[in-house]
Structure 1
Amino acid sequence: MTDDDRAPYLLVHPGWELFGSDRMLLESARALRERDERVVVAVPQRGPLVGELQAIGVEVLIPPMFVLRKSSLHPRNWLRSARDAVRGIAASVAIVRRLRPRALYVSTIVLPSWPLIGRLSRVPTVTHVHEAEASASRLVNLALYAPHLASHRIIANSRFTLQTVGAVLPVLGRRATVILNGVASPDDVEPPRARIDRLRIGYVGRLSHRKGPDAAVEALAALRREGIDAELRLVGAVFAGNEGFDRELRERAAALGVEDRVAYLGFRSDIWPLLAEIDVLVVPSRQDESFGNTAVEGILAARPVVASDIPGLREAVGPYGSATFVTPGDADELARALRAVNEGWDLRRAAAIGDRDAARERFAPDAYRRAVATFLGSLPQA
């Protein structure tokens, strides 16, 4: 802790890496620091996010924290979940009592105990909703969203998220304000190559069945069968406990005869050098995405994007001519879209270059920070 004894803004977040919601937590903290507010962030463990927060003058706590995953709802995990909940709630109550925060900002819906603690402690509480799965069962969505009825206000990261929340709990939807994610990019980016010899396909994100990198591998194999020279660069890693997917992905690439054309680059906190080296970015998610951070980064890098046709991704990059949408999980359709990019390169390249400026204005991080800081500053004090 520092010598600053002002009532802080307390931000709580379930992650510690630098994926989409982690970056938005960082931008929210930066928004408050730019207004010289005292900011304390609680995360469950150390990781790249912690260093980034400390670099901007944020105080970081690493307490026991109960995170509500879908697996927590399975009966076989109830005992462990109950234990984690007791430890997490005790730590949360102690933190709120000690800090007496000016406001509590709950980042994502998987921290169910914090809104109730904030409400009972008479601390203005906001939940920032980054998750929206309209295709999930109503019971699961109800279990995830209901604890946030205790929050005074809601921030939704897209209209799709707002609609999903409102369909499950209309009262929660009525409390919500949409603030689109701010997505940072370099001031200058490397323009796409004028001519393509071998099509360089990029993927950035978690390596999981839900995110669809295996569909990208299948599409690569389909392009190779058609005689199109192409390669795939995968940036990302599996989450703990899902290591088997990484093995299956490599085995599938070998079975399809494209193992020498797939590069596994691991997690990268800075994805812009990778985006500068590719020709086209794929975002082949199989399930709902509340907001397409990665797809937006592709547009900001002046690269054509081929994304799954799901509401969150279409809302994020649908307005841009350099974006193409395909049926989720359909590797053949993904391959056809990539072939079209390759064959119509001059037009796709020009569209991607033109789309970058419009996207920079729409997703400007400073606009996001102003909106979040103003929103939090307007909360009535208890």
Structure 2
Amino acid sequence: MNGSVYQAGRGPHRVRSAEGDSHRLRSTVPVDQETSSAQGANLPASKRPRVAHLLHSDSSGGGPVSVSRMLKHFHSTQDQVMLAGDRGRIFATCQELQIPFYQLPLETKGKAILAGFWLLIWQLRQLRPDILVVHGQWAGPLGAVAGRLAGVPKLIYVARWPAFYTSWDLLRVVRNHLSERVPCRLCDWTVTLSESNRYQYFIRRHVEEGRLLMIPNAISPEDRPTAEQVAVFRRQYEWSDEHCNVVSAGRLSDQKRVMWLVQSWPRVIQRCPQARLWIVGDGPRRTYLENLARELGICDTCVFMGEKASGMVAIASADVVAMTSVYESRGNVAMEAMLCGRPVVASDVDGVRDTINREVDGFLVRPGDIQDFANRLIQLIEDPALRQKMGAAGRRSIQRYDVPLVMREYEKLFAVALAQS
């Protein structure tokens, strides 16, 4: 198959870890426990454990960002391989680090079932990884079955997009149950990104508690935009210091429920005419949201910026960040806002409530409560001191998700997997 961008340059292998099976995994990120999984840094490339990562789409969202961080962190200790349905941020990371990247027809359900699944089995048999990490959604069931058929010793399922949150009709209930049940049963471990998600998998009995872990997304201070980037952004989009700028960043889909934010905005500008709403991102609901904004008569204070604007720079340039998702696996936007020292008003839903400390670094609002959401935005818009206080608290709180601390948990998981393979 000619899907690889770079050639690994060596044959298949098997590696066993020197650590025993007694190594215990925990569902939290310890800050004082030493790990020894960096041993691979002292090994020649040909003897490092081969770890393959599978993601159905590399186009956008928090998944590619998180996978890219993993690839960078383990670049010196593992022989890594990436398989994905298209090319985006991860592809750029693989080019930078010269990690083999295999593009397979996985980006849509039809392509994945008709062609991608069989090509994936073939590719895994050629690569013979020691560990296959499948990252959420369609990569979950397809990757788990393909990994077992290809004889991969250990499989890890990272549940980045829990399907059961969209069980809105009988067909979705059955489909979503299978799409989560299959990878949870076939993989050796299931990793959730929040304790809320971990609890949901546990009560649904998708996976035994001993094989169910929680490891959050990581974020690095290096990701914070510079003051110069913020200044350039504000000049480019003519943001005035006289206005209080509220930013919503993310895909405009049903999950994000940006309509709640748009519906709350007339109440905000009635009280705070100096406020401006900037919606960053694109998606299937954009036309509906633009029409809704016109119907509400808020187009002069509500701007749809599309994907041309950098979400992270927009967040760093904002005074307040709004997040109206109906569910999240973790909530990268909230984490990015806290990293940039910006207070957040968000829906009180799984994944988000695990990140935001209520009324410390942000406000949590009952999903769909338009009036309360508007009230919380007004409270922050009218009180610069409160914005500064909450932003500073967020910067302190987000340190617990620093890359070395989070990746230490994956180091332990990989060490156990290699010891048992």
TM-score of the pair, normalised by structure 2: 0.78
- Are 2:82 and 1:41 aligned? yes
- Are 2:30 and 1:25 aligned? no
Aligned counterpart for 2:253 among listed residues 208, 219, 222: 208
Hey, what does 1:72 align to over in structure 2?
Answer: none
- Are 2:175 and 1:146 aligned? no
Hey, what does 1:306 align to over in structure 2?
Answer: 345
**Superposed, which structure 2 residues align to 1:250-265 within 5 Å?**
250-265=290-305
Deviation at 1:66, TM superposition (A): 7.3
Hey, what does 2:56 align to over in structure 1?
Answer: 14
Hey, what does 1:161 align to over in structure 2?
Answer: 197
**Residues 1:354 and 1:113: Cα distance change in structure 2 (over 3 Å):** closer
346-355 or 307-316, larger mean C-alpha shift: 346-355
* Structure 1 spans left out of the alignment, 5+ residues: 69-80
- Are 2:302 and 1:274 aligned? no
- Contact 1:133 1:289 (C-alpha < 8 Å) held by counterparts: no
269-278 or 288-297, larger mean C-alpha shift: 269-278
- Contact 1:282 1:305 (C-alpha < 8 Å) held by counterparts: yes
* Structure 2 Cα separation of the partners of residues 366 and 268 of structure 1: 31
Aligned counterpart for 2:369 among listed residues 318, 322, 330: 330
Query: Which deviations, in whole Å up to 9, do the C-alpha atoms of 1:135-184 show, x marking residues without a partner?
Result: 55454442121111111112111111111111222534431111111023
Hey, what does 2:159 align to over in structure 1?
Answer: 129
Hey, what does 1:3 align to over in structure 2?
Answer: 9
Hey, what does 1:73 align to over in structure 2?
Answer: none
* Structure 1 Cα separation of the partners of residues 63 and 9 of structure 2: 29
* Structure 2 Cα separation of the partners of residues 23 and 265 of structure 1: 21
Amino acid across the alignment from 1:24: S
Q: CA RMSD in A?
A: 2.6
Deviation at 1:342, TM superposition (A): 1.7
Q: Secondary structure at the match of 2:352?
A: helix
- Contact 2:163 2:179 (C-alpha < 8 Å) held by counterparts: no
Hey, what does 1:221 align to over in structure 2?
Answer: 266
- Contact 2:148 2:186 (C-alpha < 8 Å) held by counterparts: yes
Deviation at 1:42, TM superposition (A): 0.6
**Residues 1:23 and 1:48: Cα distance change in structure 2 (over 3 Å):** closer
Query: Which deviations, in whole Å up to 9, do the C-alpha atoms of 1:73-120 show, x marking residues without a partner?
Result: xxxxxxxx4x74141221011111111111111111422122123234
Q: Secondary structure at the match of 2:53?
A: strand
* Structure 1 Cα separation of the partners of residues 165 and 89 of structure 2: 32
Identity %: 20
Hey, what does 2:41 align to over in structure 1?
Answer: none
Amino acid across the alignment from 1:150: L
- Contact 1:134 1:288 (C-alpha < 8 Å) held by counterparts: no
Deviation at 1:196, TM superposition (A): 6.8
**Residues 1:28 and 1:269: Cα distance change in structure 2 (over 3 Å):** farther
Deviation at 1:272, TM superposition (A): 3.2
Deviation at 1:369, TM superposition (A): 2.4
Amino acid across the alignment from 1:128: V
* Structure 2 spans left out of the alignment, 5+ residues: 1-6, 14-49, 168-172, 231-239
* Structure 2 Cα separation of the partners of residues 248 and 196 of structure 1: 30
**Residues 1:332 and 1:34: Cα distance change in structure 2 (over 3 Å):** farther
Q: Secondary structure at the match of 1:12?
A: strand
**Superposed, which structure 2 residues align to 1:52-71 within 5 Å?**
52-65=93-106
Q: Secondary structure at the match of 1:318?
A: coil
Deviation at 1:60, TM superposition (A): 0.5
- Contact 1:157 1:179 (C-alpha < 8 Å) held by counterparts: yes
**Residues 1:362 and 1:123: Cα distance change in structure 2 (over 3 Å):** same
Aligned counterpart for 2:395 among listed residues 331, 356, 370: 356
* Structure 2 Cα separation of the partners of residues 260 and 237 of structure 1: 19
Deviation at 1:357, TM superposition (A): 2.4
